[in-house]
Amino acid sequence: MKPDFENKKNFFNLNNNNAIQTFNLTKKFGNRTAVNSINLAIQRGEIFALLGPNGAGKTTTIKMLCCLLKPTAGEAVIMGYDIEKEQLSVKQIINISPQETAVARNLTIMENLLLMGGVYGINKHETKTKAQELIELFGLSSRTKELAKKLSGGMQRRLNLAMALITNPQVLFLDEPTLGLDPQARKAVWIQIEKLKGNTTIFLTTHYLEEADALADHIAIIHQGKIVAQGSPAFLKESYSGKQTMMIKASGITDKIINTLKEKYPDVRKSDNQIIIQAKDLDFESIVDLMRGEGAKIKWLSMKEPSLDDVFLKLTAEEKN
């Protein structure tokens, strides 16, 4: 069911399964509007990604939801608690893993986790039990007694996530959780994030669009403070991009082949010995059969599905014009 963004009462009562709801949430800094009347409905236990260019309003949104910035207008609730009227209750059920890796470099993995538990006033025995559980969950068991400064960047990020989870938060905010990591380390962190799905609601920001595509149940794209699109990754790709791209390199490409392809697919381009076709539904086999039937010899071909990159560039470019 689509949220009734026009009616606040209906919107906040729409679904008791929502972990985070915002209604016209707005933040202004002087004459500049950083976040402009955004409406979100994020279900419990899902991974939600907020995407946008630098300066779009992602971090400002997180700071408001974490009670670190007071909204200029609008409302938001987290697990039923108002972010302005019930800040203490909100802070008790959330945690955040910031962009910067924030670990005590001269403490061991276990000491970092115990320190964090102490900061939040958690019983030492409970903290140690939870720390051991997180160490195993994040694949850090073999390095428990090593100083954090001796860990790789990827392992430090995993420790950072574990430290954010030591309080058993119901909602976890991850602001660029894999920033600066190599692809292998990034995917290792993805695995750990996926393990939290269903138990912890995760609010994720990232510049790696393949990360959002792989992890997120739902995505919102924010640009110049406004939400310009939201939905599942599949919905966004179908609605705002939708085109497959087929590239074929072959000899013997004739005008007849090109003209026949254009009868079915209007977007057909030829460059040297290469054909590029774009359409929503490309019939791979019929295209290959046609070309071979007309005597073309195919050397190689590739198919590219619609991507979030296509969606992102399309929406943000349109908003700039």
pLDDT in tens, 53-104: 999 999 999 999 999 999 999 999 999 999 999 999 999 999 998 887 788 9
pTM: 0.79
Give the residue ranges of DSSP H helices in 202-282: 209-215, 233-240, 255-264
The structural domains of the chain, with segments of one domain joined by +, span 8-239, 243-305
Geometric angle at alpha carbon 31, from 61 and 76, rounded to 5°: 25
Decide: 271 and 177 in contact? Cβ < 8 Å.
no
Would you say residue 2 has pLDDT above 60?
no
8-239 maps to which CATH number? 3.40.50.300
Would you say residue 15 has pLDDT above 80?
no
Would you say residue 7 has pLDDT above 80?
no
Q: Give the tens place of pLDDT for each residue, 191-205.
A: 888 988 999 999 999
CA distance 148 to 160: 10
Longest dimension (CA), the chain: 77
Rounded mean pLDDT of 231-250? 87
For 196, phi and psi rounded to 5 degrees? -85, -15
CA distance 306 to 218: 17
Instruction: Tell me which residue of 45, 53, 283 sits closest to 169, measured CA to CA.
Output: 45
CA-based radius of gyration for the chain: 24
Would you say residue 10 has pLDDT above 70?
no
Answer yes or no: CATH 3.30.70.100 is held by domain 243-305: yes
Residue count (the chain): 321
Q: Give the tens place of pLDDT for each residue, 264-285.
A: 998 899 887 899 998 878 888 9
Domain 8-239 shares a fold with domain 243-305:
no
* Percent of the chain predicted with pLDDT > 90: 58
Please, which pLDDT band fits residue 13 given cuts at 50, 70 and 90? low
Predicted confidence at residue 8, as pLDDT, reads: 57
